[in-house]
Amino acid sequence: MKKRDIFFQKLKNSLGEDSFNTWFKEAKIIRERDEEFVIELDSIETCEWVENNYLEILNEVASEITGKKVNVYLSTKNSNGQYTFLKKEMIIDDTQEEKFSLVYSRYTFDNFVVADFNRVAHSAAISVSKSPGKSLYNPLFIFGGNGVGKTHLILSIYNYIRKHKKGVKALYATTEKFKRDYTLSLRKNALDEFHKVYRNIDVLLLDDVQLLKGWESTQEELFHLYNSLFMRGKQIVLTADCPPAMLSGIQQRLMSRFHSGLIVEIGEPNIEAKIAILRKKAEENNIAIPFDVMEYIAMNTNTDIREIENCLRNLYINVCLNNKPLNINTAREILSYLQKTKKKRLTPELILEYVAFEFDVKKEEILSKKRNKEISLARYVAMYLMRKLLDIPLTKIGHITGNRNHATVIHGYNNIVEKLKNNYEFRDRVENLLYKIKNECVN
């Protein structure tokens, strides 16, 4: 199968036949470059609708089959036969849960493989889904390492309730989103609205609560929300990367709430569990993988299930597109390639890109003479990170960040150091960015 066919096939699987035929029947991929797909649709109205409703899924599917972060752009031919592009905007207005739920809908109990490492967590999740708020498991606290299935499991609860418990209102939020919603509502003086969304529910599913670290006022808000829900017999489910007792930077009283229900761990998948997961994923993708290949992959990946998925995806593409045989040698080739390309080499330009993305400004703006608050801040953070992560002289940093002298760089660096001391939220943001860069890049 060609990459394009795979793309549309997967899209059809995600959207369902009807929606697919309504919007994508005439769709074509007209350009396919490294990190960019351009799709032609039949009219500008279709483009608009698809952009508002499906862009996130398109991006996901494209990224999934290429194994890279791909942006999809929509286009249509105007009356002169020339292509016009729709301006790409923020895909999902993240206050609109409905749209999210499309992306989330693929994480269900049906495609969650149960094995020893997650059996207890899975059965607790099932009980909670069947009788939310009524079991002794309140709150249910699920913890475990990276990529072991916490998000998948908590979203399975969400999807189960949406499907089988019509009158029960479940809300899933990442802790990032919760923090964002809360701070935004404070800034906009719209706390009432925030309360309306978060208190008017029967089940709260909050993912990755370790990220509340240092966010004092958000924790305060969660504490009150928790009490309000709990007293009314509502269900609360939380996930984190460690057990409650080991959470750092979280208020004691919140921790003791986290402690008061059932705490379950998702451990690490062993070889058999990884093979079971591989088998299931291969089945979902309609490929038959020989046992020795599955075993090889299971033995040569770590416990992050994303890595297994990534390997499978690459295997799939290589076999389908490059007509390679589906055997151990191909698997070996792919794994060694993946291991080599896992991390990007860290350069000053890359830091600029990370910062621009995080602060939602353009790279050119960081380099420009503009001095409004957000841009200056992004510029200073870039200087700070370059100094911290790369062994390059101040003059060079000044040069790279828009021909500035070294005194400006020192000023920028110190400015950030001060701000990190005094502002928790800012520290959290910079720490997350640092973590992400270190995780994805090598020096």
Tell me which residues touch Mg ion (CB under 5 A). Answer: 150-151
Q: Which is nearer to ligand ADP, 76 or 310 (CB)?
A: 310
Residue that has been written with the tokens 């109205």 in this structure? 45
Q: With contact defined as beta carbons under 8 Å apart, do 386 and 358 qualify?
A: no
Least distance from C-beta 236 to Mg ion, angstroms? 17
Measured in whole angstroms, the distance separating CA 191 from the mean position of its chain's CA atoms is 26
Between 36 and 176, CB nearer to ligand ADP? 176
Pick the piece of the chain touching ligand ADP (CB under 6 A) from 47-55, 73-81, 145-153, 409-417: 145-153
Stretch that binds ligand ADP, among 41-49, 111-119, 180-188, 353-361 (CB under 6 A): 111-119
Binding ligand ADP (rule: CB under 6 A), the pick from 43, 95, 146, 256 is 146
Cis bond before residue 139 (omega within 30° of 0):
yes
**Which residue, 103 or 326, has its beta carbon nearer to ligand ADP?**
103
Which pair of structure tokens corresponds to residue 133?
Answer: 């708020």
Q: Which is nearer to Mg ion, 155 or 335 (CB)?
A: 155
Cβ distance to ligand ADP smaller for residue 134 or 306: 306
| Residue 149 Cβ vs ligand ADP, minimum distance, rounded to whole Å | 3
> Which residues are CB-neighbours of 217 under 8 A, at least 6 positions away?
182, 186
- Contact criterion met (CB below 8 Å) for 150 and 211: no
Residue choice 50, 70, 148, 170 for contact with ligand ADP (CB under 6 A)? 148
User: Quick check: 58 binds ligand ADP (CB under 6 A)?
Assistant: no
Q: Which is nearer to ligand ADP, 131 or 146 (CB)?
A: 146
173 binds ligand ADP (CB under 6 A): no
Non-local (6+) Cβ contacts of 237 within 8 A are 125, 128, 139, 140, 141, 142, 154, 157, 203, 204, 205, 206
Answer for which of 46, 75, 100, 147 binds ligand ADP (CB under 6 A) is 147
Q: Which residue's CB is nearer to Mg ion, number 46 or number 118?
A: 118
Binds 147, which of ligand ADP, Mg ion, none (CB < 5 to 8 A, cut-off by type)?
Answer: ligand ADP
Q: Where do the H-state alpha helices sit in 67-109?
A: 97-104
- DSSP single-letter state for residue 214: T
Q: What share of the chain is helix, strand, coil (3-state, %, to 5)?
A: 60, 10, 30
113 is an interface residue for ligand ADP by CB under 6 A: yes
What Rg value do the Cα atoms of the chain yield, rounded? Answer: 24
Contact 393, 408 (CB under 8 A): no
Cβ distance 72 to 39 under 8 Å?
Answer: yes
Number of residues that bind ligand ADP (CB under 6 A): 17
Q: Which residue is nearest to Mg ion (CB)?
A: 151
* Residue of 67, 71, 105, 112 interacting with ligand ADP (CB under 6 A): 112
113 binds, among ligand ADP, Mg ion, none (CB under 5 to 8 A by kind): ligand ADP
Q: Which of 390, 393, 381 is nearest to 353 (CA)?
A: 381
- Residue 306 interacting with ligand ADP (CB under 6 A): yes
H/E segment holding residue 236: strand 235-240
Binder of residue 257, out of Mg ion, ligand ADP, none (CB less than 5 to 8 A by kind): none
Q: Whose structure tokens read 């390679």?
A: 324
Contact with ligand ADP (CB under 6 A) among 46, 75, 118, 310: 118
C-beta of 149 vs 412, nearer to ligand ADP: 149
Tokens 């739920």 identify what position?
101
Residue among 242, 34, 57, 219 at smallest CA distance from 150: 242
Interface contacts to ligand ADP, rule CB under 6 A: 107, 111-113, 118, 144, 146-152, 277, 305-306, 309
